[in-house]
Amino acid sequence: MASSLAVRTVDTMQSTPICVDRVTKRYGPVTAVEELSFQARAGAITGFLGPNGAGKSTTLRMLLGLATPTAGSATILGRRYHDLDDPPATVGALLDTNTFHPWRSARSHLRIVAAAAGVPEKRVGELLDEVGLAHAAERRVGGFSLGMRQRLGLAGALLGRPRVLLLDEPANGLDPDGIRWLRGFLRAYADDGNTVLISSHLLSEVQQTVDDIVIIARGRLRLQGSLDDLNARAGHTVEVCTTRATELRGRLAALGIDAIPAGHDTLTVAGTTAETVGEVAALGGIPLTAMSTDSADLEALFFELTAPTTETEMAA
């Protein structure tokens, strides 16, 4: 029985795209990450959130083998980065947009990266087009805006068609059109069964993109769960309008979902998502005339979770 359980545990770790298991990282007297554990699943975008200095970048560096854990393990598909058979086809990363040679063109930069990774050169042109830089392929990177460098960095991360993407503040410097493009791109990438981990210090920046949330502060885990879990914890509500409000309220109540009348033909629903409310209505053949969500408390909850909780943390 014990050996069977051990086999199942190993299989689970190997099938988990990203697994951080009780990781601690110390730099001399400074503890950057402490006993941190979380996972990121395939087919989903996970938001890795926390204030500046929370330990997010250090954790990403440990996943990529750029820093060695003091204790614990950080693995991709059950292996440390240095033990991967084909790293470029397994994981791509964008951690810093200031590592480009300013006098090289975007195409030259990607050609060099592709050659080092053993990726065919034709992939360079495909990616320049995919990230919207085909028009600037021959321009020197030193003249690029921050948003253009973000796109170029993403292209480099995607050269090997990796199954896992690690992105540190990927929307930084993008204009509204660029942010919308990035959301659509990452959604399609995850929907193909791949895994995305996005690091950010702003919940508002990623809440329209992610499926799951990992929140850390001062190197420690504060919360892990789905975005729906966070919405429910924050008092997330859905306001729905229908001429059959009484019937919809009854159907929701049968599922243990609270719905409170909030005016003529209007209900305020707590503890669930707009998608669930819509599904319940559709199953009952109940037409909806309007539906909106209120997630104004999400940011307040984020600050509550990341605030110092002990006298030691407050003094740090």
31 with 176, same domain?
yes
Average pLDDT over residues 182-203: 92
Residues 20, 124: Cα–Cα separation, whole Å: 32
* 7 inside domain: no
Q: What is the pLDDT of residues 262-287, one digit of tens each?
A: 878 999 987 777 888 999 999 999 99
pLDDT digits (tens, 9 = 90+) for 163-184: 999 999 888 888 888 888 999 9
Between CA 125 and CA 110 the distance in angstroms is 9
- Residues 261 and 203 placed together within one structural domain of the fold: no
For residue 265, the enclosing domain spans: 237-294
Q: Are residues 34 and 182 in the same domain?
A: yes
Task: Taking residues 138-152, report their average pLDDT.
Answer: 92
CA distances from 53 to 33, 216, 219, 257, 282 (A): 10, 10, 8, 39, 46
Domain boundary pick from 167, 187, 222? 222
Q: Does 12 score more than 90 pLDDT?
A: no
CA nearest 200: which of 70, 16, 51? 51
Asked whether residue 217 falls in the same domain as residue 242, the answer is: no
Q: Which residues contact 272 (CB under 8 A, 6 or more apart)?
A: 228, 232, 238, 252, 257
Specify whether 97 is located in the same domain as 217: yes
Sorting pLDDT into bands at 50, 70 and 90, what band is 309? low
Please compute the mean of the pLDDT values over residues 227-255 and round it to a whole number. Answer: 85
For residue 81, the domain's CATH number is: 3.40.50.300
- Please, which pLDDT band fits residue 303 given cuts at 50, 70 and 90? confident
The tens digit of pLDDT for each residue in 26-50 reads: 999 999 999 999 999 999 999 999 9
258 domain-assigned: yes
d(CA 61, CA 48): 13
**What confidence tier does 312 reach under pLDDT thresholds 50, 70, 90?**
very low
Whether residues 247 and 215 fall in one domain: no
Mean pLDDT for 19-23 is 97
Q: Are 217 and 51 in contact (CB under 8 A)?
A: yes
* Residue where a domain stops, chosen among 222, 256, 281: 222
Within-domain flag for 42: yes
pLDDT surpassing 60 at residue 4: no
Q: How many of the other CB atoms lie within 10 Å of CB of 127?
A: 24
Residue 129 lies in a domain: yes
Does some domain include residue 6?
Answer: no
| Residue 8 pLDDT | 37
Is it the case that residue 56 has pLDDT exceeding 50? yes
Question: How confident is the model at residue 240, as a pLDDT?
Answer: 93
Over residues 157-161, the mean pLDDT reads 94
* 30 and 78 together in one domain: yes
Are 159 and 34 within one domain?
A: yes
Residues 210 and 110 occupy one common structural domain: yes
Q: In what order do the strands lie in the sheet with 259-261?
A: 259-261, 266-270, 237-241, 290-294
Task: Give me the pLDDT at residue 3, please.
Answer: 38
With cut-offs at 50, 70 and 90, classify the pLDDT of residue 238.
confident
Average of pLDDT values for 41-67? 95
Domain annotation covers residue 315: no
Same domain, 114 and 26: yes
Domain count, the chain: 2
Do 134 and 282 belong to one domain?
no
Residue 279, domain member (yes or no)? yes
Tokens of 130: 């995919």
Q: Given 191, 222, 253, which residue is the final one in a domain?
A: 222
Q: Does any domain span residue 50?
A: yes
CATH code of the domain covering residue 265: 3.30.70
Amino acid at 201: H
Verify that 218 and 242 share a domain, yes or no.
no
Res. 296: pLDDT tops 80:
no
pLDDT digits (tens, 9 = 90+) for 77-135: 999 999 999 999 999 999 976 778 889 999 999 999 999 999 999 999 999 999 999 99
